Structure 1
Amino acid sequence: MRAHPSYTKIRLIQVVGFFITLVVVFAALTVMFEMMRSSDVLPKTTWLPALTGAIAAVLVVWGIWWAALLPRRTRALGYSLRPNHLMARQGLLFRHVTSIPYGRIQYVDVDSGPLERAHHLVRLTIRTAGVTASKVTLYGIPTERGQQLRELLIRRADERMAAL
């Protein structure tokens, strides 16, 4: 199953907010350094205003690129329930597939932030009894399906643990 399409909107709001904050900070630094330079607090030949302005420009370009890839990155999120394990996948350029045996599952948490609640979505965080990849998060799951999935994973984990 893939992440719900509304999850793209949530991620877009988060990414745009983050990049706007960064650009505003660097733009304010540019103005501050320019004012300090014009009032002779900084030497006239200082490169700080140009550097902070260039960083702000790079952040704008990076933010546009990041936002453009969000729909594809969201479609790359998914999971599959198999008879003996849960498969989780993520990543667009560097794809990552994790297989979690039900018997290794220790905790299943259902979380949601304000944007996710507004779109009736949750995140499932699955913690396992391993050292590497001991936590896997499934994003953009409808609320009702998330609760059902949590109960199913806990039940299957209990069954597998009882068999040991």
Structure 2
Amino acid sequence: MDDLFAPSDVTWTPVSPKLAAVRRLNSAITFGVLGLVALVVLGVTLGWVWGLPALAVFAAGFAWSWILIGRNQRSWKYAEREDELLVSHGILFRELVVVPYGRMQFVDVTAGPLERSFGIATVELHTATPATDAKIPGLHPDEASRLRDRLSALGQAQAWGL
């Protein structure tokens, strides 16, 4: 069954562990702000005794997200074949996206403020069918640039045959 989502005949490239750090920081900010808002709202309206259990619930949610984010980051990988790009990810719901180079319309490279501060970027491939779009988060900027240039060149070369 594992071969269905990660064929063994290719060399898989994992994404950077910095992806987990960025997502964990984002999760910490989100759960921290929501926890403080819940603490203040419940503390003012129902009494401070009710604010502390709400804060504990948000802390437990953050701890659970910490574990899941690490597992999710380790599941991301991609492989370049002669005619297509394979992107695989997911733990509970696994997904394998196969994008033929000739079907690619354009390739985006993006990096938000947190991603830039951690030195990673995301490569996103766009095709005529949104179902076959693929993205690869957590790439080093040099690798993202190399992949963008390679995929663009392969896409243009193979699109001529259509």
Q: Does the alignment pair 1:61 with 2:73?
A: no
CA shift, 1:56, in A, is 4.2
Tell me which residue corresponds to 1:143.
Answer: 141
Alpha-carbon separation, structure 2, partners of 1:139 and 1:8: 10
Give 1:34 deviation, angstroms: 2.2
Identity of aligned residues (%): 26
Question: What is the rounded CA distance, in whole Å, between the counterparts of 1:69 and 1:146 in structure 2?
Answer: 25
> Any conservation in 1 of the 2:83–2:101 contact (CA below 8 Å)?
yes
Checking the alignment, whether the CA contact within 8 Å between 2:111 and 2:121 is kept in structure 1 is yes
- Once residues 115 and 96 of structure 2 are traced to their aligned partners in structure 1, the CA distance between those partners, rounded to angstroms, is 24
Does structure 1 retain, via aligned residues, the 8 Å contact 2:39–2:54?
no
Aligned length: 150
Unaligned runs of 5+ in 2: 1-12
Q: Which moved more, 1:7-16 or 1:145-154?
A: 7-16
Counterpart among 21, 25, 43 of residue 9 in structure 1: 21
Unaligned runs of 5+ in 1: 36-48
User: So what's the TM-score if we normalise by structure 1?
Assistant: 0.83
Report what 1:91 is aligned to: 90
Pairwise CA distance, 1:142: 0.6
Partner of 1:30: 42
TM-score norm. by structure 2 comes to 0.84
Which secondary structure state, in structure 2, belongs to the residue aligned with residue 132 of structure 1?
Answer: helix
Secondary structure, counterpart of 1:163 in structure 2: coil
Equivalent residue letter for 1:32? V
Structure 1 distance, partners of 2:130, 2:113, is: 31
Structure 1 distance, partners of 2:130, 2:69, is: 30
- 2:70 maps to what in 1? 71
* Preserved CA contact (<8 Å) 2:85 2:99: yes
**Structure 1 residue 93, shift from structure 2 partner:** 1.5
2:151 maps to 1:153: yes
Aligned to 1:45: none
Distance in 2 (alpha carbons) for counterparts of 1:79 and 1:22: 35
Q: Secondary structure at the match of 2:64?
A: helix
Q: 2: CA distance between counterparts of 1:64 and 1:131?
A: 34
**Aligned letter for 1:147?**
S
Q: Which residue of 1 aligns with 2:118?
A: 119
Please tell me the root mean square deviation across aligned C-alpha atoms, in Å.
Answer: 2.0
How far apart, CA to CA, are the structure 1 residues paired with 2:37 and 2:134?
33
- What code does the residue aligned with 1:104 have? R
Q: Secondary structure at the match of 1:155?
A: helix
User: 5 Å matches for 1:38-49?
Assistant: none
